[in-house]
Amino acid sequence: MATSELSHVDSRPHRIGVMRLAATLGVGAALIFGLCWLGTFIPLSSPTHAYIGMFTAAPPRSVAALLEGGAWSFLFGALNGAVLAALYNLFVRLDRR
């Protein structure tokens, strides 16, 4: 007797966890910032300097830039994740038929 995973279809609209998406984007943004900070040690990598400059006024290669910019980048990513998830969940009613 074969059963199918698709035999049960959930008719409720899908919702995104606000905290999960906020944490995911926060950590992702901080990791990208860290990679850009590492990129400052590679010659001819000026675009990384511009990205770092969005989050801190500290010298791009400094540990202060890594810590301050990483923290602000995390907070900015978390805020974006929370807002996007909240808006997605708000507009989930548009999918109802």
- What 3-state class would DSSP assign to 25? helix
Q: What's the one-letter identity of residue 92?
A: V
**pLDDT value for 43:** 85
> For the stretch 38-73, what's the b/e string if a residue is b when 16 or more beta carbons lie within 10 angstroms of its beta carbon?
ebbeeeeeeebbebbeebbebebeeeebbebbbebb
pLDDT digits (tens, 9 = 90+) for 25-83: 999 999 999 999 999 998 876 778 888 999 999 999 999 999 999 999 999 999 999 99
Q: What is the pTM of this model?
A: 0.80
Helices first, then strands: H and E counts in the chain: 3, 0
Domain regions of the chain by residue span:
34-97
pLDDT band, residue 5 (cuts 50/70/90): low
